[in-house]
Structure 1
Amino acid sequence: MCGICGVIHLDGAPVAKATLQAMNDTLFHRGPDDAGYHLADHIGLAMRRLSIIDVAGSPQPLYNEDQQVTVVFNGEIYNFQALRQQLTAKGHTFRTGGDGETIAHLYEDHSTDAPKHLRGQFAFAAWDAAQEKLLLACDRMGQKPIYYYYDAQTFVFASEIKALLRHPRVPRQSILDDPHNLALYLSYGYIPAPQTAFKHIHALQPGHTLLLNAATGKIGVQPYWQPPQIAPADRSAQAADWVPQIREALLEAVRLRLIADVPLGAFLSGGLDSSLIVALMQRETNHTVKTFSIGFAGEDSFDETIYARQVADYLGTDHTAFIVEPHAMDLLPKLVWHYDAPFADSSAIPTFLVSELTRQHVTVALTGDGGDELFAGYDRFYAATLVQKLGMIPRPLWQMASGLLGALPEGTGYANRLKRAGRFVRGASQPLAYAYFDWVRLFDAEQVQQLTQQRDIGGAHFAGFIGGDPDLSAILYANMTTYLPDDLLIKADRCSMAASLEARAPFMDHELVELAARVPLNLKLNGRNTKYILKEVARGLLPDAIIDRKKHGFGAPLGAWLRQDSGLVRDVLLSQQARQRGLLSMPAVEKLITEHESGQRDHGYRLWALLTLETWYHLFVDAPQPVMP
């Protein structure tokens, strides 16, 4: 993995090496092994390298034969060996033994269609000096992000926004000053792409390219791949017809991600997805796989290390379990710095910690990310079918039940039944699109209105995205194209790269994604049995007790932590600076804190969202220049 950045001055002004170097230095954590630069009058490209393949060679930037095409590249191309053979047969000459040089030669042959030939996780920039054009590309699933700023004089891009902000022409203006955008953030817990937290800075979306004509100053953004539609149910479908091809596709995806010239391991939570990946890794290597898990001392309901140990013992891995007692408030500024944005997903805490600790042992770690999205692994998918079946129950009855449950005190444990029941009943009183969004949203519509005086912006946004009369297939598709790239994959990229660790997700192989989409829906969600077909794929590879164990999300005991640190929470959220900012209704914020302190409600995740918001303003907007805390 690497960090890349670049500048094109459309007004012809030369790019200062000092500016490009400042941008590149900001990305040091993404690539501590090497740095490279290409400067030519009004264009500058740079990268930081984390050496994985061809460690001693493959310095970037990379070039074609006549050096008219220059490439900086972040990621891994898993089919690079086959591509090299094809390109060599066509007469191309390679200078390095790595994967990235294939991009320069592919661009020669295929121009803007080059990304279609790549299998992997990547973001790259290719500068065509002869045509004075720049091509940016993001991989199909959005595993490797790329951001850009554009005006009449300047085009700037980078793997992380903080690098863009080092360019003096890039402004730092928050979109969250607008209550509409603030309401979206509070609803989703992140800022939906292609927007970012900054005005005029955009994310290039998964499966898209951006072509800049430096001579005319015009840009065009186009998809080169579309996420596959989700197949509906087929009652005649048999699991036995699908298990062999899914297992083979997943095995191939794992095999490709074992290519590395550095130590390699895997995250192992003890759940189905990561356990299955490790089982296949163990089959494909002659070495004992190193596996890593994390738990929190004193919080048994969030601790899966016992299950990870069971899987490790069964498979014979070299397993390390990290048990930590972090202070959430100490981690807050570090996480916000690495995300460049308010980001409410508190599972970033254990992901960040396990990445830091894993990096002490290996440079690459395979993960189970994406299994739930491909194979309907969340209980909320079953809840959606249940709501449809219970459609004859009048909504006023659901609303009455929701009010009764809402009056009862909530605990902070992981599987608190009262919280789960309350959330289900509240959602069940609404149309399906709004019901589903209510189960995943952070602040409900009433809380958003109390905080921002905005009506249900988030619910309307999601319902508009998903369409008029959704079914479960549409909901699965929406989950795969919103929550997966904008939350889970951003989290995986930021937390692993913060530790200079390369994370690889076999479930995100686009050929496996396309295959999974064709699997009939009833083989994914079989009654209330989530991920049914994937469980059948795992039979014989893992113990049934692991396969059939109830799903446990990867989280942190945030509610309990923030009750212990409630004084610090008040200091941040009710500070004079926060009041003067005027973003939120202070009485509504104080109500959330008081309800959480008293044990009436568990607002841990919501308070964390507000803490990341205020900390982001402090680090990125208030400060004269963003500086790592």
Structure 2
Amino acid sequence: MSTESTMSGIIGVFDAFGRSVTNSALAIADRLCKVSARHAQLYCSPTGCEALGRVSIGVYNAAPQPVWNDSATVAVVFAGRLIRDKFEVSNSQNLSDEQWILECYRRHGVAMPVLLRGVFSVAIYDVEQRRVLVAADRLGLYPIYYAHRSGHFAFAPTQNALLCDEYIPATLDWVGMAQYMRFQQLIGDTTFFEAIKFLRGGHQLVYDLDSDTLQEVVYWRFDPNFHTRSDITFEDAADETVRLLLQSVARCTEASHRYGVFLSGGLDSRIIVAALGCLGHQPPALTYGLPTARDAVYASQVAQRAGLAHHTCFQENGKWVEQYWRQHLYLTDGSHAWVHMHGIYALDLARQLMDVNLSGFLGDTLVGGEALREYLSGARDDAYTYFAKIFEWLITLENWPGMTEWEEQLLYTPATFAQIKGLAFASLQEVLRPYLSYPEPIRTELALIWNTDGRHYSRYMDFKRSAVELALPFVDPDLMEFVLTLPPDYRRKRRLSRAVLRRLSEPLTQIPYDKDDLLPTDNNLLRSSHAFVQKVQRRLARLVGAQTTEQNTLHSDYERWLRTDLRAWGESILFDQRFLERGLFNPEGIRWLWERHMSGKELWTIGKLAPIMSYELMLREFVD
């Protein structure tokens, strides 16, 4: 079957009781092909009880799938890119990734996923063993959602696609709602629906058709015997980080695709640009957002300094949100709110410029030490202090400030509050417990990497994959494993990021960083002198009444847009009869929160409103 698809991913439907799954599989594939013109391939067995397929935009893994072994007894579907240089099998130089996986499965059976390195999703159907194996990469960056119910097992890249299967009910999960409203994201394996789970990074599923049993296994976790290195100086650590990063970028660009960079004013994309330059690449760069944002201003300077062709896709108002919210919802399930859809309007241009975007994903966390902030570096030896600190962090600092305890009571109806009270914190504790065996600060870093980067920020990649594939240099396993063992002070406050950038391109350290407007150099004299000059210039401008162009610190002004361009749209969601009749939220409380936002007297109320709006849109599109 060839049709249209949203993003690269794998799908499968299997029934142990002999019921046909063909219609369910076709419905799932059709839902995944709703948004953009690409490809879907689907195999249905002669009995109609097994279906396996792949949706793809035709960049990575372009050959038809499933791929079968020579005896046509084992099939594999695969999305993503493997790093195969550590676990090579004999005579495999000419094997595709899919053929290589089949050979690893032949040798190692269900233990095969431990050999896989890279960013991917994979499923194997063993006809003779009547067994299905599904595995996510170590971080779960190609999403896999699954459901197992009464002899029926299905998986797909989105929750909403699985709801097209008649055997999977759309019963809401109160835990999912509680997490989403408090954290503005989902964590662990929770989804919006009781019957559906998220396959976490480093996990695999083994489904036995004969016994109708599903087993979830952890095939990889960060070294439980972790210890911080004490045998390396900062300068040597920076040199080795550069070497490993260049190795990673070389791996990411070894195929004959058109590569490009979504360029911001931050450090991650700038480091990628610098590394590409060292390897002789000058890819096109694309910047989106407000034209007056620091992001855009400094990205332009970086592109000019690096000699890149710089393309822009700017939006000066918020009207584009009404055009793109539905596309974003179908690609992400709404699992991060509509205020995280920035850049979706630039995807048509991106597809013209590149096949693969080299993304800076995880760079700020890994090399920049984002999770090593002082706020998270207090006394956290006991479990309860640790749980409370992370809880407070997710609500107040990770995104816009979210719903507080007292707001929760005012905004929900009494019936909803009775169901949802305490679930966000209780579920967070369960998610965090496996990390307690690690020492601080790596404990918190791992928890945040797998549950905020892996479950929240990776959703940006979901909608970008509807147009281009992504290569993730900072997610390279060799780089990650090295950097996470370095002394924390080497990475705090982006110290290592600045040292890496200086080694790759000294000129790019002379352009300010968008978040603090300071030069990203480890030359403290130059950095402080630049800050002093800027301060003096701003003060003189105010004294003489000079007109200056105000630079937005954020690339998208969702707060203001909801008060102006998107006000009617917001009211059509929150004060519509369908919203009121659901009985989930207290209408008076919602009106009170809306008026607080409309007054403009209070910052960051968007973090409380946006999840409620996106949740309602999700219900309208996928449940009603």
1:460 deviation in Å? 4.9
Q: Is 2:623 the partner of 1:617? A: no
- What residue is the counterpart of 1:15 in the other structure? 21
- What residue is the counterpart of 1:330 in the other structure? 323
1:233 deviation in Å? 7.2
Deviations 1:220-273 (A, max 9, x none): 100111135797878886311211221111111111111333322111112111
Q: Which moved more, 1:120-129 or 1:158-167?
A: 158-167
Q: Is the alpha carbon distance of 1:53 and 1:594 closer, same or farther for their aligned partners in structure 2, counting shifts above 3 Å?
A: closer
1:353 is aligned, of 340, 345, 369, to 345
The one-letter amino acid paired with 1:370 is L
1:108 is aligned, of 106, 109, 117, to 106
Find the aligned partners of 1:230 and 1:616 in 2 and give their Cα distance.
42
Q: Is 2:397 the partner of 1:439? A: yes
8 A contact 1:231–1:517 mirrored in 2:
no
Query: TM-score when scaled to structure 1?
Result: 0.82
- What residue is the counterpart of 1:290 in the other structure? 284
Find the aligned partners of 1:482 and 1:456 in 2 and give their Cα distance.
19
Q: Secondary structure in 2 aligned to 1:304?
A: helix
8 A contact 2:261–2:283 mirrored in 1:
yes
8 A contact 1:560–1:604 mirrored in 2:
no
Q: Is the alpha carbon distance of 1:274 and 1:229 closer, same or farther for their aligned partners in structure 2, counting shifts above 3 Å?
A: farther
Deviations 1:341-363 (A, max 9, x none): 442272x3223233343112212
1:481 deviation in Å? 1.9
2:428 is aligned, of 459, 462, 469, to 462
- What residue is the counterpart of 1:241 in the other structure? 236
Deviations 1:158-177 (A, max 9, x none): 122233222222222222xx
8 A contact 1:10–1:154 mirrored in 2:
yes
1:88 is aligned, of 76, 86, 91, to 91
Deviations 1:275-304 (A, max 9, x none): 10121122224x53111111225xx3x441
Find the aligned partners of 1:122 and 1:363 in 2 and give their Cα distance.
17
- What residue is the counterpart of 1:544 in the other structure? 509
- What residue is the counterpart of 2:465 in the other structure? 497
Find the aligned partners of 1:235 and 1:515 in 2 and give their Cα distance.
13
Find the aligned partners of 1:554 and 1:10 in 2 and give their Cα distance.
51
Q: Which moved more, 1:535-544 or 1:448-457?
A: 448-457
Find the aligned partners of 1:306 and 1:620 in 2 and give their Cα distance.
40
1:519 is aligned, of 478, 486, 493, to 486
- What residue is the counterpart of 1:563 in the other structure? 563
1:598 deviation in Å? 0.8
1:463 deviation in Å? 5.1
8 A contact 1:370–1:484 mirrored in 2:
yes
Q: Is the alpha carbon distance of 1:296 and 1:555 closer, same or farther for their aligned partners in structure 2, counting shifts above 3 Å?
A: closer
8 A contact 1:267–1:366 mirrored in 2:
yes
Deviations 1:440-476 (A, max 9, x none): 3522232223223455543454356446899543322
Q: Is the alpha carbon distance of 1:598 and 1:15 closer, same or farther for their aligned partners in structure 2, counting shifts above 3 Å?
A: closer
Q: Secondary structure in 1 aligned to 2:260?
A: strand
- What residue is the counterpart of 1:172 in the other structure? 170
Find the aligned partners of 1:380 and 1:584 in 2 and give their Cα distance.
37
- What residue is the counterpart of 1:604 in the other structure? 606
8 A contact 2:187–2:431 mirrored in 1:
no
Q: Secondary structure in 1 aligned to 2:588?
A: helix
Q: Which moved more, 1:288-297 or 1:195-204?
A: 288-297
Q: Secondary structure in 1 aligned to 2:133?
A: strand
Find the aligned partners of 1:608 and 1:486 in 2 and give their Cα distance.
18
Equivalent positions of 1:322-471 (< 5 A) are 322-325=313-316, 326-327=318-319, 328-344=321-337, 346=339, 348-378=340-370, 381-385=373-377, 432-437=389-394, 438-440=396-398, 442-452=402-412, 453=417, 455=421, 457-462=423-428, 465-466=431-432, 471=440
8 A contact 1:128–1:134 mirrored in 2:
yes
1:540 deviation in Å? 3.2
- What residue is the counterpart of 2:298 in the other structure? 307
- What residue is the counterpart of 1:415 in the other structure? none
Q: Is the alpha carbon distance of 1:578 and 1:34 closer, same or farther for their aligned partners in structure 2, counting shifts above 3 Å?
A: closer
The one-letter amino acid paired with 2:375 is A
The one-letter amino acid paired with 1:244 is D
1:15 deviation in Å? 3.3
Q: Secondary structure in 1 aligned to 2:504?
A: coil
Deviations 1:16-57 (A, max 9, x none): 2x44233223223588146342424221112233332575xx
Find the aligned partners of 1:583 and 1:342 in 2 and give their Cα distance.
18
Unaligned runs of 5+ in 2: 1-6, 518-552
Find the aligned partners of 2:54 and 2:83 in 1 and give their Cα distance.
20
Equivalent positions of 1:139-218 (< 5 A) are 139-175=137-173, 178=174, 180-218=175-213
8 A contact 2:359–2:470 mirrored in 1:
yes
Q: Is the alpha carbon distance of 1:448 and 1:378 closer, same or farther for their aligned partners in structure 2, counting shifts above 3 Å?
A: farther
Deviations 1:457-502 (A, max 9, x none): 434543564468995433222211210111011221x21123x311
The one-letter amino acid paired with 2:303 is A
Q: Secondary structure in 2 aligned to 1:360?
A: helix
Find the aligned partners of 1:281 and 1:562 in 2 and give their Cα distance.
39
8 A contact 2:355–2:468 mirrored in 1:
yes
Q: Is the alpha carbon distance of 1:510 and 1:607 closer, same or farther for their aligned partners in structure 2, counting shifts above 3 Å?
A: same
Q: Is the alpha carbon distance of 1:460 and 1:147 closer, same or farther for their aligned partners in structure 2, counting shifts above 3 Å?
A: closer
Query: TM-score when scaled to structure 2?
Result: 0.82
- Counting aligned pairs with the same residue, the percent is 24
Q: Is 2:39 the partner of 1:46? A: no
8 A contact 1:78–1:120 mirrored in 2:
yes
Unaligned runs of 5+ in 1: 390-427, 623-629
1:10 deviation in Å? 0.6
Q: Secondary structure in 2 aligned to 1:222?
A: strand
Q: Secondary structure in 2 aligned to 1:587?
A: helix
- What residue is the counterpart of 1:595 in the other structure? 596
1:618 deviation in Å? 0.7
Find the aligned partners of 1:228 and 1:447 in 2 and give their Cα distance.
40
Q: Secondary structure in 2 aligned to 1:601?
A: coil
Deviations 1:511-530 (A, max 9, x none): 222112101111111xxxx1
Q: Is 2:477 the partner of 1:510? A: yes
8 A contact 2:372–2:445 mirrored in 1:
no
Q: Is 2:310 the partner of 1:319? A: yes
8 A contact 1:23–1:163 mirrored in 2:
yes
1:316 deviation in Å? 1.3
Q: Is the alpha carbon distance of 1:388 and 1:155 closer, same or farther for their aligned partners in structure 2, counting shifts above 3 Å?
A: closer
Q: Is 2:215 the partner of 1:220? A: yes
Find the aligned partners of 1:288 and 1:235 in 2 and give their Cα distance.
38
The one-letter amino acid paired with 2:428 is F
- What residue is the counterpart of 1:583 in the other structure? 584
Aligned residues: 558
8 A contact 2:44–2:51 mirrored in 1:
yes
8 A contact 2:229–2:486 mirrored in 1:
no
Q: Is the alpha carbon distance of 1:44 and 1:435 closer, same or farther for their aligned partners in structure 2, counting shifts above 3 Å?
A: closer
